[in-house]
Chain A
Amino acid sequence: EPEVTQTPSHQVTQMGQEVILRCVPISNHLYFYWYRQILGQKVEFLVSFYNNEISEKSEIFDDQFSVERPDGSNFTLKIRSTKLEDSAMYFCASSYTGGTEAFFGQGTRLTVV
């Protein structure tokens, strides 16, 4: 069964460093998303991406964040200058259309020290 894959599963980085989280969405999906879950809290929407551009973004998704689809398969989230409060689980998701359910990857646990 097709699945969304994320790498790495766990990333530790120093405060102020840049990190890139990678995702390979399901191949025929057209909509891509990033979500964040701070430990013990609910999952929060960051950004959606369609047709090679950002479609929607939340107020969490400020200038330190960016997304990119550098080729036909990868979808990345870049955090430019990490802060301690960026420590969270980051989930990538994809869907075939905007109306269908989103399939989530297994997540990347980001720890900022």
Chain B
Amino acid sequence: AQTVTQSQPEMSVQEAETVTLSCTYDTSESDYYLFWYKQPPSRQMILVIRQEAYKQQNATENRFSVNFQKAAKSFSLKISDSQLGDAAMYFCAYRLLSGGGADGLTFGKGTHLIIQP
């Protein structure tokens, strides 16, 4: 079974600074997707960024970028120029790319990101 580990229960960063959230995963598969979801206090799950395992290039979405190291099974999220609105729980998630395509996401336990004004 796949597992996702987020070793940082909480991180704090000054507004406008850069912060990196860590995620590692365990799988014996070679084709899969990785995601970062943000959960603000409203508790809605919002997709931040996604990475296909077959792509070597790291995904980027504006201030958000990932460092995907497939051999190390590592998938960290970097947030540049942190803003107060970035404060939330961040969940790393894994999904197998299977023929049926309906596999669920496996989530990590989350990292609570605090932005200091």
Interface residues of A (CB under 8 A from B): 31, 33, 35, 37, 41-50, 55-56, 58, 89, 91, 93, 97-99, 101-107, 109
Known: A91-B45, A101-B35, A107-B43. A44 touches B103 (CB 8 A): no
Chain B contacts for A44, CB-based, 8 A: 107
Tell me the complex Cα distance, A98–B47, Å: 16
A-B contacts, 24 listed (Cβ < 8 Å): A31-B101, A33-B105, A37-B43, A41-B109, A43-B91, A43-B105, A43-B107, A49-B102, A50-B101, A56-B104, A89-B43, A97-B101, A98-B102, A99-B97, A101-B33, A101-B35, A102-B47, A103-B47, A104-B37, A104-B44, A105-B44, A106-B44, A107-B44, A109-B43
Q: Are A56 and B102 neighbours in the complex by a CB distance under 8 Å?
A: yes
Contact A99 B33 (CB under 8 A): yes
Out of A35, A41, A104, which one reaches B104, CB within 8 Å?
A: A35
**Among the listed B33, B37, B42, B104, which residue makes an inter-chain contact with A33, where contact means beta carbons less than 8 Å apart?**
B104
Q: Are B100 and A43 in contact (CB under 8 A)?
A: no
Q: Which residue of A lies closest to B6 (CB)?
A: A42
Interface residues on B, range: 20 to 34
List chain A residues, Cβ under 8 A from B104: 33, 35, 45-48, 56, 58
| A49 cross-chain contacts in B, Cβ below 8 A | 102
Cα(A67)–Cα(B43), bound, Å: 23
List 17 additional A-B contacts (Cβ < 8 Å) besides A43-B105, A101-B50, A104-B37: A33-B104, A35-B104, A42-B107, A43-B107, A45-B105, A45-B106, A55-B102, A89-B43, A98-B100, A98-B103, A101-B33, A102-B105, A103-B47, A106-B42, A106-B43, A107-B43, A107-B44
Q: Is there an interface contact between B102 and A31, defined as CB atoms closer than 8 Å?
A: yes
By beta carbon, the residue of chain B nearest A32 is B102
CA A93 – CA B43 in complex, angstroms? 14
| Bound: A97/B99 CA distance, A | 11
What residues on A are CB-neighbors of B106 within 8 Å? 45
With contacts A89-B43, A103-B47, A107-B44 taken as known, whether A42 is within 8 angstroms of B108 at the C-beta atoms is yes
Contact yes or no, B91 A98, CB < 8 A: no
B75-98 vs A, Cβ < 8 Å mask (1 yes, 0 no): 000000000000000010100011
